């Protein structure tokens, strides 16, 4: 059980990190919101395909962790919701890559999936620490990742309540974007940490 958890958690972490790298390079090199550079546009679909391919490891690793720690009913319910959202996100992303749906549809599915994915870290880590399946420091790390994502996201969301092009909007986007970016980087790292510390 522990060995399988390590394998699938590690696979999820590395595929997620690769997808994040592709996304970062896409926004940096293809500049989709500026003078678009078509020679780098392929990075966007690469990120999308990595998400589709990474859905199964994410689901399997999540279920294996909850099974390993003998999670309670609430954790199983949250995990079930997360798994359904992951599967739905992968399906819609595949449809988008096939040209059947637009980015707006994919965004509507990916947003709640991402939020639930970050929320899940806290109770999953709490159960894992309680079962002595991971070191105790994994819990405060998980809480920090979640708070960075939620608080940063709230600040970025608040930026769109102020006038467009204003200095305040730009300040809020940067101030909120930094913790969100750190949380996004920490998310795949969390899975690699789980793979290397699960017991």
Q: Smallest Cα–Cα separation from 197: which of 125, 120, 119, 148?
A: 125
Q: Enter the pTM of the model.
A: 0.93
- Domains of the chain: total: 1
**Three-state secondary structure call for residue 114:** helix
Q: Long-range contacts made by residues 156-161, C-beta under 8 angstroms, separation at least 24?
A: 156/180
Q: Smallest Cα–Cα separation from 156: which of 131, 136, 130, 174?
A: 174
The range of the structural domain enclosing residue 19 comes to 2-197
In this prediction, residue 38 carries a pLDDT of: 83
pLDDT in tens, the chain (199 residues): 799 999 999 999 999 999 999 999 998 888 777 666 788 889 999 999 999 999 999 999 999 999 999 999 999 999 999 999 999 999 999 999 999 999 999 999 999 999 999 999 999 999 999 999 999 999 999 999 999 999 999 999 999 998 888 889 889 999 999 999 999 999 999 999 999 999 9
| String of DSSP letters for 29-58 | II-TTSS--GGGTTHHHHHHHHHHHHHHHH
Q: 104: Cβ–Cβ under 8 A, 6 or more apart, which residues?
A: none
- Whether residue 66 contacts residue 76, with contact meaning beta carbons closer than 8 Å, is answered with yes
- The number of residues in the chain equals 199
Tokens 């969100």 belong to which residue?
180
As a dihedral over the C-alpha atoms of residue 145, residue 112, residue 85, residue 119, rounded to 10 degrees, the angle is 30
């Amino acid at each position: 059980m522990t060995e399988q958890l390590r394998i699938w958690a590690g696979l999820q972490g590395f595929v997620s990190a690769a997808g994040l790298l592709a996304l970062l390079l896409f926004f940096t090199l293809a500049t989709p919101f500026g003078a678009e550079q078509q020679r780098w546009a392929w990075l966007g679909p690469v990120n999308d395909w990595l998400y589709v391919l990474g859905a199964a490891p994410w689901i399997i690793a999540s279920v294996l962790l909850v099974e390993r720690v003998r999670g309670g009913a609430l954790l199983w319910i949250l995990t079930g919701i997360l798994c359904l959202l992951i599967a739905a996100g992968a399906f819609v992303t595949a449809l988008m890559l096939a040209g059947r749906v637009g980015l707006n549809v994919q965004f509507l599915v990916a947003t709640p999936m991402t939020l639930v994915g970050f929320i899940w870290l806290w109770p999953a880590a709490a159960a894992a620490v309680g079962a002595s399946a991971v070191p105790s420091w994994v819990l405060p790390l998980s809480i920090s990742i979640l708070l960075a994502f939620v608080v940063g996201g709230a600040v970025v969301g608040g930026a769109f309540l102020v006038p467009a092009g204003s200095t305040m909007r730009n300040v809020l986007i940067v101030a909120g974007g930094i913790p969100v970016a750190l949380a996004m980087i920490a998310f795949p790292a969390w899975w690699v940490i789980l793979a290397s510390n699960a017991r």
